[in-house]
Structure 1
Amino acid sequence: MSTALAGKILWVLGVVAWYVVRYPFERRARRVQVVTSQRTLSDTVGLAAALLGMAALPAIHVATGFPSFADYSANPWIVALGAIILVTALWTFRRSHKELGRNWSISLEIRDQHKLVSGGPYALVRHPMYTSFLLLALGQAFLLSNWVIGLAGLLGFAVLFFLRVDEEERMMLEAFGPQYRDYMERTKRIIPYVY
């Protein structure tokens, strides 16, 4: 098996694992009433960009090899690093969902009996779900040896993050006021101790 093929297989397994983690939370979320929804056009655009860059385009690449002009020789050490990053991303993704529990939502929403979560990965960063997406995009860049597809994941993440994070923090400030402001002062956004 070639290193490039191994990277593609690992990426596919990562996508399957991502969905296995998310699915039960998605099902449970449908049963919890939404009190406030801040879904906007920019929220929808951000989600679409992430889906395109981190799922659709890499899936096309894995299935067809397109765009082959941007391929480069896969290095076993780079693919191994991508696998480690992918596992770390999935662990962070799972822990984030687990800590949020019934508060989780795919969109900018406050749910019935919503509580501010500040344990687990939320003790280090305010948005560990975005941390996991950043790690997933980095893992994709290392696993799929194609410049366009690697950059597509990082670009998709960046669009989602920068269109959403300020709106999300405004919503949390409206919902939790000084409690969230204190939490903001204790934590970084997505990279512990850095940003």
Structure 2
Amino acid sequence: MSNEDYLKDISEIKHLMNKSSRFISLSGLSGIMAGIYALIGATIAFWLVNTYSNSELYLDGWVFRTAMLILFLVAFFSIVTGIILTTRKAKKNNEKIWDSSSRRLLFNFLIPLVVGGLYCLIILSQGRYGQTGGLMLIFYGLALVNASKYSIGDIKYLGFAEIILGLIATLYPGYGFWLWVVGFGIMHIVYGTWMHFKYDK
């Protein structure tokens, strides 16, 4: 057997091991759409706050509740779109959408995300609005880094970028909203585009 045959066999074994331990059917388009949803939601929330509350949010006010609803809708549509596009990609690649690797991915992604979401709700209830944007970015970034061990390893770079933006936002709370827009909007579009042309194509 030639060296080329050995290398081919090793490559195939490595590919099979990678498929069995990692969920690799994540869609780059879902990242692009999540970024677009975030930009649309941020635009509506910005207009709402500046039009009806003099740039101030009050926990018991309808503007705050509407802004939280917009945030929920952004997350909901991002998740639904991600599931649809990822399922379509998995079927195209003859891969299972729900197996041990996807379960590990989801579990490791949700731990930091759920903890971060609960912590953000706690500080919101205490009226500390300035830190929430940065904390969302930090915990989301940690969730991506934590999940990258069970998926395409490149998502950890998006996670690191989100963490850095979150730390900057906590250092400069007045820019938290705009850094949130960069992190959840622009970074998702840029990263999703890169992933689409690197893996989906």
Asked if Structure 1 and Structure 2 have the same fold, meaning a TM-score greater than 0.5 normalized by the shorter chain, the answer is no
